[in-house]
């Protein structure tokens, strides 16, 4: 897979580099080129190419659909960064910081429209199928972002609510990216459903792993500071699960912990409190639950084992990371 | 036409009232319902219904396309109001004022996506034609808004640049609304082009009339304060034309006038200065130029005079307003 993954990655990097927007108005189009050139893992477009390949068509046919999901992802990053008041993205200034908020709003809008243009380059029937899926997904991503913002100002968020939020905000776009490749390869409706759910379940597992790594990664291998979520009082699966399982005394201790200001001690205290509640183990169990479901989705898929291999390898690659 | 216009208006009002978004997350969907319920002239969806009717199909078939242009228009209002820091829209609080900027960004995004969903309810070929036109138009509207913002911080804006800005920001959506109705009525490519350009030219004429009325309307019949554009130093056709035609001394006087703070005297001074330059007459001549071109577009249209009548009446209705 490693070599195929490299092939898809190279292809999508070349494709992104070839994207050209009009020159004027520069204040609209430059930020769009800027965010696309910032890089990123290009995970979503790779999924589209991979699925198109696995279901038997030339992955290059999926170029514009793959670019569309990448453009959509970047649209959501521009707007999310405004909402989160994030100064940096991939180590560089965010669009609203480098330009201003108005430019970031409008460039984001224009990027979303560009994604639709790319999806319209296929024949009418295919375009309609792609855009239908894309519309549903795009709405869900907005819902997920809204829930994420709503949760910040709420004191109680249940585990099912949290899981639904990460499904909407992150996971459905992975499912959509895969299904788009399947659509372009004329996969059966059943295979499309399976590969979609594989992406969604893997996406939720991936996001739970993110929560776990943030506190329990090996600092030597982890790119960021350990415990960033605890330091910034983010309501991750770990914290919400701890609140859910806490005795009244532990609940009080956890509430007090959250009031503490950012420090290494705060992180140490969280690790200690979580240990008494076996939060790491519970989070890993939940992650494995979604991972196992994703594996079942793959097993159910009606294609040869040979063609499933890249998906198994992708899943294993994603779930065995240390950063 | 009056009765037909009423029929279209009633139909679109009923259609807008029937639009239902999901209940949750309320913080995403309530602002979307709110802006749609604020009202407005519904000019764009009426154009879609009218064109569908004129080219021989049941206007009710154009319901979803008409709703799509209305939703798009409201998406652009939500985002423009953030950028303009406008507290009020149609006498009520704007979305970012009633809720907050983040909610306004996201609700706007979701409204744009809803427009695409509506356009996808037609058969694949029709959807593709509608979305292709819509994509082009939506991008142009973003470009127009960006130029409008760019112009605020520029000292010199030429007349052609200004005309191009209002074409992009306002007029192309009128052309698009009409062409969508024509597409759904299976109008010929040539008829589609003519009705599109009729809408664009009429739209530019309408916008120029807006600039003229702002300073020269009869206060008794004008709903707003006379001279609002002069008071807020807006670069309208009148001001730009005055700068273009001014002698060096008049240029100095105009620059000084713009520095003055908001007052009735400032408006009186502008009227006096514009009179020496015949700005009102020049603006009306330019407006009539576009109006005449719009009439030529109509004359060229290959449908019966009977079917053209509503367009002539619409044009005359729009151009003979006093507010």
Q: What is the mean pLDDT of residues B6-28?
A: 96
How far apart (Å, rounded) are the C-alpha atoms in residues B147 and B163? 11
What is the C-alpha separation between B253 and B241, in angstroms, rounded?
Answer: 14
| Angstrom distances, CA of residue B282 to CA of A97, B157, B233, B242, B285 | 42, 17, 20, 10, 5
CA pair distance B104, B220, nearest whole angstrom: 35
**A116 touching B, CB under 8 A?**
yes
How many CB atoms are closer than 10 A to CB A37? 11
| pLDDT-derived band at B3, boundaries 50, 70, 90 | low
pLDDT at A2: 55
Parallel/antiparallel/unpaired status of strands A92-93 and B88-89 = unpaired
The Cα–Cα gap between B54 and A193 comes to 43
CB B116 within 8 A of CB A131: yes
Instruction: Find, among B221, B176, B206, the residue nearest to B319 by Cα.
Output: B206
B318 neighbors B206 (Cβ within 8 angstroms): yes
Residues lower than pLDDT 50 in chain A:
1
Question: Chain B contacts of A109, Cβ < 8 Å?
Answer: 79, 108-109, 112, 142
CB B178 within 8 A of CB B153: no
| The pair of three-digit structure tokens given for residue A239, joined into one six-digit string | 């914290």
Question: By the CB < 8 Å criterion, does A156 face chain B?
Answer: no
Nearest to B105 among A27, A83, A127 (CB): A83
Which of the four pLDDT bands, split at 50, 70 and 90, describes residue B2?
Answer: low
Is any Cβ of chain B less than 8 angstroms from the Cβ of A125? yes
- DSSP character at residue B323: -
Q: Is B117 on the interface with A (CB under 8 A)?
A: yes
pLDDT digits 0-9 by tens, B171-200: 999 999 999 999 999 999 999 999 999 999
Is B100 part of the contact surface with chain A (CB cutoff 8 Å)? no
Q: How far is CA A215 from CA A6, A220, A260, A284, in A?
A: 30, 13, 17, 13
CB < 8 Å to B132, chain A: 120
Best probe of the A interface among B21, B25, B124, B133, by most A CBs < 10 A, is B25
Between CA B141 and CA B166 the distance in angstroms is 9
Q: What is the pLDDT of residues B233-256, one digit of tens each?
A: 899 999 999 999 999 999 999 999
The 10 Å Cβ neighbour count of residue A132 is 16
Task: Please check whether residue A114 touches B, CB under 8 A.
Answer: yes
Give the one of B28, B79, B131 whose C-beta lies nearest to A142's C-beta: B28
ipTM value of the model?
Answer: 0.95
Tokens 């240990």 locate to A275
Phi, psi of B81 (to 5 degrees): -65, -35
Q: By the CB < 8 Å criterion, does A145 face chain B?
A: yes
A86 touches B at CB < 8 Å? no
- CB-CB under 8 Å, B27 with A143: no
| Secondary structure (3-state) at B202 | helix
Chain A within 8 Å of B79 (Cβ-Cβ)? yes
How near does any CA of chain B get to the CA of A163, in Å?
A: 15
Residue B199: closest CA among B42, B62, B74, B314:
B314
Q: What is the pLDDT of residues B283-312, one digit of tens each?
A: 999 999 999 999 999 999 999 999 999 999
Question: What digits encode the pLDDT tens for the residues B45-91?
Answer: 999 999 999 999 999 999 999 999 999 999 999 999 999 999 999 88
Is B316 an interface residue toward A (CB < 8 Å)?
no
DSSP state of A261: P
Q: Which among A101, A106, A116 has CB closest to B131? A: A116
By DSSP bridging, strand B92-93 and strand B88-89 are antiparallel
Q: Which residues from chain B sit within 8 angstroms of residue A173, using beta carbons?
A: none
**Does any CB of chain B come closer than 8 Å to the CB of residue A135?**
yes
Quickly count: other Cβ atoms within 10 Å of residue B163's Cβ.
Answer: 18
Q: How far apart are CA A305 and CA B2, in angstroms?
A: 67
**Exposure string (b/e) for B61-83, b if CB count within 10 Å is 16 or more?**
bbbbbbbbbbbbbbbbbbbbbbb
Q: Across residues B92-121, what is the average pLDDT?
A: 97
Nearest-CB residue to B128 (from A27, A112, A127): A127
Render pLDDT for B138-167 as a digit per residue (tens, 0 to 9).
999 999 999 999 999 998 999 999 999 999
Integer-rounded Cα Rg, in Å, for chain B is 20
Distance of alpha carbon B36 from alpha carbon B248, whole angstroms? 48
Q: Residues A74, A129: contact at Cβ < 8 Å?
A: no
Name chain A contacts of B109, Cβ cutoff 8 Å.
Answer: 79, 108-109, 112, 142
Kindly list the distances between the CA atom of residue A262 and the CA atoms of A220, A233, A234, A254, A314, in Å, as whole numbers in the listed order: 21, 9, 12, 14, 36
- Residue among B146, B88, B89 nearest A24 (CA): B146
Nearest CA in chain A to B29: A143
**How many contacts, defined by CB atoms under 8 Å, are there between A and B?**
112
**Residue contact A127–B124, C-beta within 8 A:** yes
Rounded distance, CA A68 to CA A83, Å? 23
């Amino acid at each position: 897979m490693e070599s195929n993954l490299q092939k898809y990655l190279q292809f999508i990097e070349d494709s992104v580099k070839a994207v050209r927007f009009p020159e004027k108005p520069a204040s609209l189009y430059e930020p769009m080129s800027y965010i696309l050139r910032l890089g990123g893992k290009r995970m979503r477009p790779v999924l589209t190419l991979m699925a198109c390949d696995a279901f038997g068509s030339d992955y290059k046919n999926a170029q514009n659909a793959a670019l569309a999901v990448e453009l959509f992802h970047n649209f959501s990053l521009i707007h999310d960064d405004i909402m989160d008041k994030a100064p940096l993205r991939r180590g560089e200034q965010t669009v609203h910081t480098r330009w201003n908020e108005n430019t970031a709003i409008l460039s984001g809008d224009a990027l979303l429209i560009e994604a639709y243009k790319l999806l319209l380059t296929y024949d009418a029937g295919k375009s309609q199928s792609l855009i239908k899926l894309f519309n549903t997904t795009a709405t869900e991503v907005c819902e997920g972002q809204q829930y994420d913002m709503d949760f910040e100002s709420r004191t109680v968020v249940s585990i099912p609510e949290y899981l639904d939020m990460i499904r909407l905000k992150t996971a459905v776009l992975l499912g959509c990216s895969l299904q788009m490749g399947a659509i372009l390869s004329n996969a059966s409706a059943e295979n499309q459903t399976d590969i979609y759910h594989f992406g969604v379940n893997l996406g939720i597992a991936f996001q739970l792993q993110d929560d776990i790594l943030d506190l329990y990664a090996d600092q030597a291998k982890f790119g960021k500071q350990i415990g960033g979520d605890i330091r910034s009082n983010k309501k991750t699966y770990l914290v919400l699960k701890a609140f859910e399982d806490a005795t009244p005394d532990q609940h009080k201790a956890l509430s007090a912990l959250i009031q503490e200001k950012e420090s290494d001690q705060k992180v140490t205290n969280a690790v200690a409190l979580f240990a008494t509640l076996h939060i790491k183990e519970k989070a890993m169990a939940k992650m494995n639950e979604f991972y196992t479901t994703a594996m079942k989705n793959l097993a159910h898929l009606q294609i040869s084992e040979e063609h499933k291999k890249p998906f198994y390898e992708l899943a294993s690659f994603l779930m065995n990371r240390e950063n």
